[in-house]
Amino acid sequence: MTVDQGPRRVRDGGMPQMDFVAALPHALRRSWHLMPQLSRYVVVSGLALALDLAVFLALNRAFALPTLAGVVGYACGIVLHYHLSRRFVFTDAASKKSAHRLFGEFFASGLIGLIVTAAVIALATGILGVGPLPAKLIAIAASFLGVFVIRRSVVFA
């Protein structure tokens, strides 16, 4: 029986309960199995982001160089993210890679996010006139999903 064909459950009082997963658009239903891992990745990313932002804000306040502060903050976040991801997000990965190779690939995927982060901050602050913090927030959104896909499909595969 598939999600689409599943029986409707009945709540107390005889009211049919709609199957939430069956109500999702087909594209979301196909990737529903990723949600537990993606939600753990969101939490780990949030913790790494907190460190990233703290370093970014401190360095930007001290030196007024938002692009450099963004790069250093992101690099600090990568290290924390690796350790947390390895322990809590991709724990069931069938990867037989050595720890050195795994970290190298994780770091390389982080460099892609780092390049996106630096480019977005430079573009937003230098050309568009956006403030450093909003530029950083835009950069976070721009790099998040792409880096998750790379880490899931390449690094921890």
pLDDT for residue 116: 85
Q: What mean pLDDT is predicted for residues 49-53?
A: 92
Instruction: Name which residue leads in pLDDT, 148 or 23.
Output: 148
Considering the domain architecture, whether residues 11 and 62 belong to the same structural domain is answered as no
SS3 of the chain: CCCCCCCCEECCCCCEECCHHHHCCHHHHHCHHHHHHHHHHHHHHHHHHHHHHHHHHHHHHHHCCHHHHHHHHHHHHHHHHHHHHHHHHCCCCCCCCCHHHHHHHHHHHHHHHHHHHHHHHHHHHHHCCCCHHHHHHHHHHHHHHHHHHHHHHHHCC
84 and 7 within one domain:
no
Same domain as 42, residue 25: no
Dihedral through CA 38, CA 39, CA 43, CA 49, nearest 10? Answer: 40
Q: What is the pTM of this model?
A: 0.64
Judge if 141 and 93 occupy the same domain.
yes
**Statement to judge: residues 11 and 76 lie in one domain:** no
Whether residues 5 and 39 fall in one domain: no
pLDDT in tens, 62-121: 999 999 998 899 889 988 999 999 888 887 566 778 888 888 999 899 888 888 888 999
Q: Is the pLDDT of residue 47 over 70?
A: yes
- pLDDT top residue among 24 and 47: 47
Q: Based on the fold, state whether residues 24 and 88 are members of the same structural domain.
A: no
Same domain, 14 and 72: no
How many domains, in total, are found in the chain?
2
Segment 30-48 mean pLDDT: 84
- Residues 1, 64, single domain; the answer is no
Q: Which range of residues forms the domain containing residue 95?
A: 34-155
pLDDT in tens, 111-150: 888 888 889 999 999 999 999 999 989 988 888 877 888 8
- Co-location of 14 and 59 in the same domain: no
Higher-confidence residue: 62 or 30? Answer: 62
Confidence of residue 10 (pLDDT cuts 50, 70, 90): low
Q: Are residues 5 and 47 in the same domain?
A: no
Q: Are residues 117 and 69 in the same domain?
A: yes
- Range name among 2-11, 46-55, 64-73, 107-116 with the lowest pLDDT average: 2-11
